[in-house]
Amino acid sequence: MTETDFRGTVFSGCTISDKLGQGGMGTVYKARHEALDKIVCVKLLSPELARDQRNIDFFLREARSAAKLEHPNIVHIYNFGQENGSYFIVMSYVEGKSLQDLVEQRGPLPVPEATGLMAGILDGLAHAHSKSIIHRDIKPSNILVDSAGIPHIVDFGLARSLNEEKQLTIAGEMIGTAYFMSPEQCLSGKVDNRADLYSAGATYFHILTGKYPFDGKTSIEVIHKHISEPAPNPLLINPDIPLWAARVIERLMRKKPEERYQKAEDVALELRKYNSGELNVSQTSTEKTFDMPELTARILAASMQPPPPPGNKPLEMAGPLPVDNTSDETSPIKSQTLEQKKEQPAPVRKPAMQLAMLHNAVKTLTHFALTLGAVGCFILAGASGTISGSLSNPLASNPIVTGIFAVFGLALFAWALSMKPLKFTPLYTLLALAAAAAAYAGGAYIPAPEGADTATKGFLAVTIGMANIASDTATLIYAFFLYLAASKIVFRANVFAKLLALAAYIGGLALTYVYFKAGLPATPADSWLAAAGVLAAAGLAAAIVQREFSLFFNPPFFFLAANLMIFSMFTNPQVEIITQEKVRSDAETVNLANARNREDYHHALAAAQAEVVYDVDGRPVEKKPAPPQEIKQAETNTLRSQARLEYYTALSKKLNAALAESAGIVFIALFLALMINICFIEELLAVYRETEFF
């Protein structure tokens, strides 16, 4: 049966007239209840979903859950069941629009209107929670606002009774919409009424700012932010929001359920008191206030900024909602807002941007100084030993000084970490630890005169490192860090970032070629160079088309393989030279040994023939020595493996010595510190784009 065939079909005394919308579970139609003589909605389960009993159970559970509830802020359920081969729910019809539609059409709602709507929503949730019903999918698209401005909660398809024994969700299954999902839902954990309060806080944030609390390219990214990142301050997006509203949102959206509000009715009562002016922040807060330069910059230009644009559509839309086509320009609040906009001067955002940019420039310089200071402390920690070239000597010979410098270095890195917008990130932490280790090793291996003190060694490490900035050893270090930097930005969609990554990859490959080609006594095979070229071309193609990590068509993988081809191209000829030398030496050794064995055999034979031995019967016995065994040469492949190991060992020692003598390890530590600061600047830029400073 097609959708048009349902017109005129009767379900439980309700005659279907028009289709209102399509949702995840089915279709909603407008119908007339003949007995009650009123307009209602009929929701039909999709025939495709009806093939799975689990979907039928979800659908009927929505009806049973909502049927238990009688509240003006919850859509009423009249009947449900199965007729005409379809499962149906008959519910009250609300003439109005969804909260999502209002935000998309009008942008962020005025604080009094948004707060009044949220208080009504929380009243409905309080009633549902009193009946042990958890909605689990509170979001703007599941809130209908009628012509009188009264909100109605709809779509109890994911609702669950706390007393319900039958569990319809599979263990580990996430239920809800990513933009408004509580952390415990994201983790597929046990939820209670406080999960609805978190979603209500996210909804309040959205209708006040026009944006989602956490955004991302995928649902997984948004879910990760709900779990790990603190709720953003709505004042940074819309400075017109009062402080009490930001406090309510922050408490509703705390990660741990026990730290949130515990009851919906308490939140509704508090919101109404704030909205009426009966309550203010000073009456409920003992917290101290601090100057926040970013926020101050926003507030200074608040009256000169236009309201933020409406948010994007959510990742997942709920069931269909009736839509009223009447214009909302007749709303008194809307008309007043339009008049205020006409009287406001043209927006001027330059002062806010200048203040914020100045503040973050200072933060960037401070972060740079902290990371360099931390690297310096670890260099001094490594240089506090009495013997150069030993990592354990500083701890053994001068543990107190070494420990003090190490603690200061860790403290500076921790301070720098606290300045980050995202606080803890794995890449930043890994780079910081690597920089600390490299700085310590650089200080320990510095070729300092015997008896030099810690300060002299530290100064010498930095001086030698800077003096050898263009040495042959530094060439390979540059190649390595160009590869790292390119791999960090290659998946960006920005064209400039793509070109920069490509240039860095090619530059790193060229430096690898230059380093290993220097002083090569043999001509490499062209096949290796051809292989490196093919891999580099594949890497270029992957870098151009890829915008996210791919396991197979991966630019970093291709360029790493190309660098290995360059390494092999110049390594194999030298390994072959060592192999041939080993083959020649082994042949000489074997020939000499065989000649000696044959000579010994002839001597033994002559001695045996000269000496006559008789048996008991007096007959002569011939005594002949065993013939000599021929010694064979070692197989070429075995000698080649030995030659390769010998070459790699010699190369490793050469690199270690070169890094120590040229303070190249210190140079590596400084490069890692630079990478740390690049990560920090990227996070600052991301925060500014999110708050519309850029």
Out of 37-51, 154-168, 444-458, give the one with best mean pLDDT.
Answer: 37-51
Kindly tell me if the per-residue pLDDT of 154 is higher than 70: yes
Of the candidate ranges 254-258, 471-475, 599-603, 660-664, the one whose mean pLDDT is the lowest: 660-664
Closest CA to 162 of 197, 131, 195, 127: 131
Q: Looking at per-residue confidence, does 5 or 296 come out higher?
A: 5
Tell me the CB-side half-sphere exposure of residue 104, using CA atoms within 13 A: 10
Closest CA to 432 of 449, 451, 412, 459: 412
Kindly tell me if the per-residue pLDDT of 282 is higher than 60: no
Retrieve residue 298's tokens. Answer: 């926003």
Per-residue confidence band for 188, with pLDDT thresholds at 50, 70 and 90: confident
List beta partners, residue 88: 44, 81
Distance of alpha carbon 204 from alpha carbon 252, whole angstroms: 10
Kindly tell me if the per-residue pLDDT of 447 is higher than 80: no
Average pLDDT on 394-404 reads 90
Average pLDDT on 418-423 reads 79
Per-residue confidence band for 400, with pLDDT thresholds at 50, 70 and 90: very high
Closest CA to 64 of 202, 190, 159: 159
Q: Are 477 and 516 in contact (CB under 8 A)?
A: no
- What percent of the chain lies above the pLDDT cut of 70? 79
Longest dimension (CA), the chain: 142
Average pLDDT on 640-662 reads 78
**What is the residue-averaged pLDDT of the chain?**
78
Q: Are 278 and 269 in contact (CB under 8 A)?
A: no
- pLDDT value for 244: 92
- Rounded to whole angstroms, what are the CA distances from 448 to 454, 459, 473? 10, 10, 19
Kindly write down the DSSP assignment for every residue of 184-212, as one continuous string.
Answer: HHHTT----HHHHHHHHHHHHHHHHHSS-
Give the CATH number of domain 3-92; options: 3.40.50.970, 3.30.200.20, 3.90.1170.50, 2.40.50.140. Answer: 3.30.200.20
φ/ψ region of 520 (left if φ > 0, alpha if ψ in -120 to 50, else beta) reads beta
Average pLDDT on 601-624 reads 73
Retrieve residue 542's tokens. Answer: 């992957």
- pLDDT value for 314: 44
Residue partners of 372: CB distance under 8 A and separation at least 6: 670, 673
What Rg do the C-alpha atoms of the chain give, in angstroms? 38
pLDDT, tens digit, for every residue of 57-108?
A: 878 876 787 788 889 999 888 888 888 888 898 988 888 888 999 999 999 9
Per-residue confidence band for 452, with pLDDT thresholds at 50, 70 and 90: confident
Per-residue confidence band for 690, with pLDDT thresholds at 50, 70 and 90: low
pLDDT, tens digit, for every residue of 494-544?
A: 788 888 888 988 988 888 888 877 756 556 667 878 888 888 888 888 888
pTM of the predicted structure, to 2 decimals: 0.43
Per-residue confidence band for 397, with pLDDT thresholds at 50, 70 and 90: confident
Kindly tell me if the per-residue pLDDT of 599 is higher than 80: yes
Average pLDDT on 640-656 reads 82
Residue partners of 43: CB distance under 8 A and separation at least 6: 23, 25, 26, 27, 28, 29, 88, 89, 91, 319
Average pLDDT on 651-672 reads 75
Kindly write down the DSSP assignment for every residue of 577-635, as one continuous string.
Answer: HHHHHHHHHHHHHHHHHHHHHHHHHHHHHHHHHHS-EE-TTS-EE---PPPPPPPPPPP
Domain boundaries, the chain: 3-92, 96-343
Average pLDDT on 654-673 reads 76
**Reported CATH class of domain 96-343:** mainly alpha
Cα 346 to its chain centre, rounded Å, is: 39
φ/ψ region of 480 (left if φ > 0, alpha if ψ in -120 to 50, else beta) reads alpha
Per-residue confidence band for 411, with pLDDT thresholds at 50, 70 and 90: very high
- pLDDT value for 325: 38
- Rounded to a whole number of angstroms, the distance between the first and last alpha carbons of the chain is 53
Distance of alpha carbon 525 from alpha carbon 79, whole angstroms: 82
User: What is the DSSP code (8-state) at residue 255?
Assistant: S
- pLDDT value for 331: 39
Residue 170, burial from CB neighbour count under 10 angstroms (0-12, 13-18, 19+): exposed
Average pLDDT on 468-485 reads 77
Residue partners of 595: CB distance under 8 A and separation at least 6: none
Per-residue confidence band for 308, with pLDDT thresholds at 50, 70 and 90: very low
